[in-house]
Structure 1
Amino acid sequence: MSYKALYRKWRPEVFEEVMGQAYIVQTLKNQIAADSISHAYLFSGIRGTGKTSTAKIFARAINCLDPYDGNPCNVCEVCRGILSDQVMDVLEIDAASNNGVDHIREIRESVKYPPVKGKYKVYIIDEVHMLSSGAFNALLKTLEEPPPHVVFILATTELHKIPPTVLSRCLRFNFKPLSMEEIKKRLEIICRSLDMDCDDGALTTVAINGEGALRDALSILDQCIAYHPGQLSYEHVIEVLGSINEDLLFQMTDHIAHQKPLKVAELLQQLYLEGKDMKQLLTELMKHFRWLMMASLNAKIEGWEAMPETKREKLVQQAAAFETRGITEMIRKMADIEFSMKKSAQPYILLESGMIALASPAPKAAPSAPSAQVAPPPETVQPVQKPKGEAKPSPKKKPAAAPSLAPTQQPSPTKGSSEDLLELVRQQWPEVLEQIRLDKKASIQAMAREGKIIAIEGEVAVLGFDQEHSFHCNKLDREDIKSYLSRLLKDKTGKSLRIKLQLLEDNKQSARQQQEQTIEKLKEAVPENILEIVEEE
């Protein structure tokens, strides 16, 4: 007899063997016991969660000659015939390859004939979302009012692709992904039956990589058994999966935490030369940082308790080297690296440069140029407050303070925390521009980079543009764009700031206004009998 894959050999044959779908199993058993079978069912959920297996058990149970507690006996003539595909009362149809109107017309013709041996004629249509629009329309009438001896069971992994007209005609069940503990428990049972020597770390790794799908986990286990029969170790599983050893993940994270870019580059080179998949490395590292994030929050999520205690302790210890916000920022940056690698001819270079950037210290902010400020009025007019005798200022003498004022184009930042916030926003603005580029908004990025953060006014960041870039300022002055920029700025700085666009005046006009403001201050501070303003010709 030919070899059977584990997922086929261990396919559930009664409802109690279906894992992780308790409410679905109980509902179907109750319907069978009460003989209240619906005419159409829709099973949805990710791959490998038991949709087709449950459909086959249900098909046998409603046709079984000697059912017990809602389960098929699997020994009567009908059950054995269905299990061996010799009874034509249960038809399994793959909608991916039989998705045309003609195939549905054949079904419409065949439903007219009664079952041969069983009580019901059952049509199991797998991946039903692959049917064409015309095929769905052809199925509607039959699905709504089928003959009393016909039951339809539709299965899909993409529920959103099913037309509402079909959904409304079916009894729907959503198969949830299995937990890591449920998959691990099933793997332990299978390994014991195969008399295999396996360690806990290996089973945990296989269960995690199943990603909620028992069939995927069994396929991985099958491959591991073929690689090293009789023994299942963590090292064997890592080798089969092409994954990265968790010790190397901890080592890489330590280099990032302690800002050792050279060590990161060396470790990347080592893994690259060993033939490791660099995209897989990045995926594993992102998962590792997710565990760090949960450890920093003390969140006991699914899978945490199943980890070895030593690994949990190491995660908690390593998470202490980061702030929670820093971990989330690392994950976001790694996601950006992953996205850029997908479309690059040199993904390793992008990964290397991105990881080195993660491990490099943050660049020191360049000192901002001091803003020109108007000197206090008393000091400005101090030489004028001590006239000699009754002499009046020469009528042709220009005001002393006015020429000394440097023209300014922007308001000076407020004191204290506002100055710190202004410095932070200026420092992070290049990061905002880079994120705009990564978001594929080239036109916005090209216009926004011509502006500069000139001030913080309460909860508003002022983005200034000079006169020659007035077009850019006007184009960006839209609520949706300003909201988008505000959101990016919040992501980078952690501060909720609205964006205000401001067109700066040219130097000549600004200097003239400063001169007028200074003259007004002089008029307020100096008695009129000792001050004379002479207009420049």
Structure 2
Amino acid sequence: MHKALYRSYRPQNFEDVVGQEHIIRTLKNQIENNNVGHAYLFSGTRGTGKTSTAKIFARAVNCENSVDQEPCNECEVCRDILNDNVMDVVEIDAASNNSVDDIRELRESVKYSPAKAKYKVYIIDEVHMLSQGAFNALLKTLEEPPSYVIFILATTEPHKIPATILSRCQRFDFKRVTVKDMTTRMQRICDEENIEVEEKALNLIARNSQGALRDALSILDQCISFSDNKIEYKDAVELLGTVNIEQLFEMAQSIIDQDTKKSLHILNEFVVWGKDIRNLINDLIDHFRNLMVCKVSTELDEIISLPEETIKQLKEQSKIVDINDLIRILNILSETQDNMKTSSNPRVLAEVTIMKTAQPMFDESKEALIKRIENLEKTIESGNITINTRENHISNNEIVIEEEEPKEIVYENVKSEDVKLIESSWQKIRQKIKEDKVNKQMPVYFLLGDVSGFNVYNNNLYIIYGHGFEFAKKRLSNPETISYIEQMIRETINRSFSIKIILESEVKDIELEIKNDKMDKGEELLKSIVNEDILEIKDNEEKQE
């Protein structure tokens, strides 16, 4: 039967523990100075060596032939502890032994002196799973334990442990194991197992294990089974469902080049191969984060845990993108990462995200606006601006301004504050109608959910429907219904409007009426001003005569 790598290569002495030098040094000093504590708390994420260190410590304090405070693993006590043949070292899983009775039983066994060893060591794993009553039962024993007892509590969630327990323990926080340390450890294991492996593959495995060496060894075990004693980078990519590093650079380049078509094509390939889109978004965040680090720092060894070859590629790619654009892209990707957790259609969400990152025109952020201005400035500097006289269009990297004959001035339709108010309050207005139990106007509530737009002029609120919604216009144009909607709007936003229901096909006629009305009023105002001037001139002339 195959034995998992993380079990076969479980640390047997302090020297084998990876990435926790600060803890190992302290524990060895305590053993050397005969200053061993009675209670320890080992906390940290999974797979960082908490339980392994506890077992090594249990042997080290009891070893008959200890050298440099390391357990010899050869003496009778060490061998018995390794083989679980001694009652003096007890490992308890608090996840399944978390009741008051379990801890009371432990308290009873504490009273008896060690049978073989110098110390009785109790290792309580996942201690945060104990019930409140069990914690209370443990408290008295922790407070006044016999001199020959050592408690080692291990947990991934120290915040769940009562303060009264914490205050009675020496706390050691286990760090996440760095990518570099994990890669070194896995390389040594592969050498011992006579397995050929690419450095890029080990790096990918280490990065995907998120600081947990045990997870890394489990993935490595899978790769060994998959690749028949030769682990290549592509095999690790296949097993992990991640993005190939070359594919990642290509995707990032297409985003930087604002090539939406190519970006979406790469995304589609990713989906076709059955990969998890969430992995793609996560990897893109890491990639653009690394590009940002390359822009602001030259000392990258501790900040970017990647092979030198990949770091060199990152440095080159970072030269062609500015920091403002990186911040804009990272903001979009981070928002998508959060939205992915609740999205029912992650592919569409990812496609919209890619379009936003590759095309600043689809993004309304400050950074996107700056990018659009930069693009415009570059185009102007290049001189690629021509003027024709037939029709308007925009081509790639070239602004073409063409005029129609006869010339016509077109005014941009800017939303008024009233329109913005209605748009932002529309759902509240509909909700008020929905909650109206007296008039019971649910058909009105549903019909108002299909509105395509609004306009406001002279205190008239135009509610606009698209093609095919003539029935909605007919249903809502009833005077009683109009009055009801006006009332709901007035009660919700404290503003009075006269409602008019129109279709999109009628918008141009309404706009023409508004335009003519404005012109008529303008002419009246102009005439009044001119007439007043004329009258004033006449008065002055009469006075002079």
- TM > 0.5 fold call: yes
Give me the whole-angstrom Cα distance separating, in 2, the residues matched to 1:305 and 1:79. 41
Q: 1:295-332: CA deviations, max 9, x gaps? A: 12135345567634442232123223332232122122
Give me the whole-angstrom Cα distance separating, in 2, the residues matched to 1:264 and 1:126. 47
After superposition, residues 86-485 of structure 1 pair within 5 angstroms as 86-302=85-301, 307-362=306-361
SS at match of 1:283: helix
Give me the whole-angstrom Cα distance separating, in 2, the residues matched to 1:17 and 1:310. 29
- Residue 78 of structure 1 and its aligned partner are, at CA, apart by 1.0
In structure 2, the gaps of 5 or more residues are 365-411, 432-452, 457-488, 496-520
Q: 1:348-400: CA deviations, max 9, x gaps? A: 122222222322241599xxxxxxxxxxxxxxxxxxxxxxxxxxxxxxxxxxx
Change (3 A) 1:302 1:136: farther
Q: 1:104-138: CA deviations, max 9, x gaps? A: 11111111122211111111011111112221111
Q: 1:154-209: CA deviations, max 9, x gaps? A: 01111211111111000111111122211111112111111222222122222222
Indicate conservation of the 8 Å contact 1:90/1:122, yes or no. Answer: yes
User: Which residue of structure 1 aligns with residue 7 of structure 2?
Assistant: 8
Change (3 A) 1:473 1:209: farther
Give me the whole-angstrom Cα distance separating, in 2, the residues matched to 1:469 and 1:138. 64
Structure 1 position 68 matched with structure 2 position 67 = yes
Give me the whole-angstrom Cα distance separating, in 2, the residues matched to 1:247 and 1:214. 26
Give me the whole-angstrom Cα distance separating, in 1, the residues matched to 2:299 and 2:5. 32
Give me the whole-angstrom Cα distance separating, in 1, the residues matched to 2:363 and 2:12. 65
Give me the whole-angstrom Cα distance separating, in 2, the residues matched to 1:34 and 1:314. 50
Give me the whole-angstrom Cα distance separating, in 2, the residues matched to 1:351 and 1:364. 14
- Residue 243 of structure 1 and its aligned partner are, at CA, apart by 1.1
Give me the whole-angstrom Cα distance separating, in 2, the residues matched to 1:96 and 1:329. 45
Indicate conservation of the 8 Å contact 1:89/1:121, yes or no. Answer: yes
Indicate conservation of the 8 Å contact 1:180/1:302, yes or no. Answer: no
Give me the whole-angstrom Cα distance separating, in 2, the residues matched to 1:471 and 1:15. 69
Q: 1:450-482: CA deviations, max 9, x gaps? A: 9x9xxxxxxxxxxxxxxx8897699xxxxxxxx
Give me the whole-angstrom Cα distance separating, in 2, the residues matched to 1:348 and 1:125. 44
Instruction: State the one-letter code of the partner of 1:113.
Output: Y
Change (3 A) 1:241 1:103: same
Change (3 A) 1:35 1:362: same
SS at match of 1:117: coil
SS at match of 1:155: strand
Q: 1:225-261: CA deviations, max 9, x gaps? A: 1111221211111112111111111111122112222
Indicate conservation of the 8 Å contact 1:180/1:303, yes or no. Answer: no
Number of residue pairs matched by the alignment: 404
- Residue 340 of structure 1 and its aligned partner are, at CA, apart by 2.1
Instruction: State the one-letter code of the partner of 1:269.
Output: N
Q: 1:8-39: CA deviations, max 9, x gaps? A: 11111111111222221111111112222211
CA RMSD of aligned residues (A): 3.8
Tell me: higher relative CO, structure 1 or 2? Use CA pairs within 8 A at least 6 residues apart.
Answer: 1
Indicate conservation of the 8 Å contact 1:296/1:324, yes or no. Answer: yes
Indicate conservation of the 8 Å contact 2:294/2:300, yes or no. Answer: no
Give me the whole-angstrom Cα distance separating, in 2, the residues matched to 1:175 and 1:469. 61
Which TM-score applies when normalising by structure 1? 0.68
Indicate conservation of the 8 Å contact 2:356/2:363, yes or no. Answer: no
Indicate conservation of the 8 Å contact 2:127/2:154, yes or no. Answer: yes
Q: 1:276-297: CA deviations, max 9, x gaps? A: 1111111111111111111121
In structure 1, the gaps of 5 or more residues are 366-422, 453-467, 475-510, 532-537
User: Which residue of structure 2 aligns with residue 37 of structure 1?
Assistant: 36
Give me the whole-angstrom Cα distance separating, in 1, the residues matched to 2:174 and 2:494. 52
SS at match of 1:177: coil
User: Which residue of structure 2 aligns with residue 397 of structure 1?
Assistant: none
After superposition, residues 45-56 of structure 1 pair within 5 angstroms as 45-56=44-55
Give me the whole-angstrom Cα distance separating, in 2, the residues matched to 1:198 and 1:469. 72
Give me the whole-angstrom Cα distance separating, in 1, the residues matched to 2:205 and 2:191. 16
Change (3 A) 1:292 1:470: farther
SS at match of 2:80: helix
SS at match of 2:91: strand
Percent identity between matched residues is 48
Give me the whole-angstrom Cα distance separating, in 1, the residues matched to 2:139 and 2:270. 55
Indicate conservation of the 8 Å contact 1:181/1:303, yes or no. Answer: no
